[in-house]
Amino acid sequence: LSGYCRMEYGVGTFNGTVALHLALLALGIKKGDEVIVPNLTYVATANSVLYTCAKPVLVDSDPRTWNIDPDKIIKKITKRTKAIIPVHLYGHPCDMEPIMEIAEKYNLKVIEDAAEAIGAEYKGKKIGSLSDISCFSFYGNKIITTGEGGMCVTNNEELAEKMRFLKNQ
Give the pTM: 0.95
Mind listing the pLDDT tens digit of every residue in the chain (169 residues)?
Answer: 888 889 999 999 999 999 999 999 999 999 999 999 999 998 999 999 999 999 999 999 999 999 999 999 999 999 999 999 999 999 999 999 999 999 999 999 999 999 989 899 999 999 999 999 999 988 657 777 777 889 999 999 999 999 999 998 7
Angstrom CA distances, 83 to 4, 28, 120, 166, stand at: 25, 10, 23, 19
Q: Which amino acid is located at 95 in the chain? A: D
CA gap 56, 33 in Å, rounded: 9
Q: In this structure, are residues 61 and 39 in contact, taking their beta carbons and an 8 Å threshold? A: yes
Catalytic positions are: 142
CA gap 156, 27 in Å, rounded: 11
